[in-house]
Structure 1
Amino acid sequence: MNPAALQLRDIHLPAPISWWPPAPGWWVLVGLFIMLVVIGAWWRHRHQCRYYRRIALSQLAELEERCRQTPQEVALIPELSRLLRHMAILHYPSHNCAGLEGQQWLTFLDQPFDDAPFTTGVGQVLARGPYQRQEQLEYPDQLISLCRRWINHLPAVKPRRMP
């Protein structure tokens, strides 16, 4: 046998594996990472925008607890009115709601609702209550739940940073 007549060739190695394009698994991993970053940023933004609402709900819960423990010592109507007015100023700065009083204030509070619970329901006491002698409320739990419902309907706003 003549090796030249066999026409044998030497072993050829394949080309080295390139780093680009990556395997499909890496594409899936990059896609999941991007999705995780976007969801994290969205959640953080949402959490920050609901900061005032969380504070208002915790203040309302604290007021409710104080009212249950010592109902005669808590000035419920002025406290609720102050809390709602503060939240209205924070969430609706362009509506100039700080100077509203009486029926105008109740109409402003009724904006997110169809059933007008402030002007025709238990919320009417907020128009006259803060300016009168403290009286015993018939339905303090309904008034507190109405205020909680109003706070839950507030639009999301990003907290302002102090300079």
Structure 2
Amino acid sequence: MDPATVNSEIANPQATVPMSSTAPNPALAQLQDIIHPEPIGAWPWAIGYWLVLALVIALITLLVIWLRKRARDFAPKKAAKQLLNQLDKQATSYASDVNTLLKRTAMSYLSREAIASLDGEAWATWLDSYLPEHKRQRIGPLLAKRHQATPLTLAEANELHQLAQAWLTSKAKLSAPETHTQTSQNHTPIQPTDTQQAEAQC
């Protein structure tokens, strides 16, 4: 080999590399970058999510309706407690004022015919039925003193205030009292007819 040719190859080594080794591979040129799939979105929701959402909305709606009804039911008693605190315990008419307040409150829940005629023992018994067991049998005698010339003492007025407040705080639903007329009608014996009497004689 010519020494000049060897020297030129040493000086320029790229000249000895075949052209085909540096040419791009046609198969590789057709390859594309890997495309990742788009992340799965949260929308639209599955049917299970819609059912849970509907159930939550229904429960919230029922709770709001119940709370509004409860507030509406206890509104008369709440107003009566505020009026009770404004009454003068040292006034001679305190027992009468408390009795009037309790009757007005009761008539806010029940008919006037069922409450207005109640008085005396029947009225006291009906009030006692909505008081705790250990506070019964006391509101009647205290309210009865409104018909007496001697007013309530301060201790009796305080006791009556506590009893009235306990009655107004009761969460029990008020129901119409049973009158003597209703009781007698419920226990009226049924007279046998003429046919029944004849059959009994036979």
Aligned to 2:105: 87
Aligned partner of 1:130 among 129, 143, 146: 146
Larger Rg: 2
CA contact (8 A) 1:117 1:123 kept: no
1:54 has 2:78 as partner: yes
Q: Give the length in aligned residue pairs.
A: 146
Q: Following superposition of structure 1 onto structure 2, how do residues 1-163 of structure 1 map, counting pairs within 5 Å?
A: 1-3=25-27, 11=35, 13-14=37-38, 17=41, 19-21=43-45, 34=57, 37-63=61-87, 66-67=88-89, 71=90, 73-93=91-111, 96-113=114-131, 115=133, 117=135, 120-126=137-143, 128-133=144-149, 135-137=151-153, 138-155=155-172
Runs (5+) with no aligned partner, structure 1:
158-163
Structure-2-length-normalised TM-score: 0.55
Runs (5+) with no aligned partner, structure 2:
1-24, 175-202
Q: Percent of aligned pairs with the same residue?
A: 20
Higher relative contact order (CA 8 A, sep 6+): 1
C-alpha displacement of 1:116: 7.3
Instruction: Give the 3-state SS of the residue equivalent to 1:135 in structure 2.
Output: coil
Task: Return the alpha-carbon distance in structure 2 between the equivalents of residues 44 and 111 of structure 1.
Answer: 27
Structure 1 residues 117 and 92: alpha-carbon distance in aligned structure 2, compared to 1, 3 A threshold: farther
Structure 1 residues 10 and 114: alpha-carbon distance in aligned structure 2, compared to 1, 3 A threshold: closer
C-alpha displacement of 1:149: 0.6
Structure-1-length-normalised TM-score: 0.66
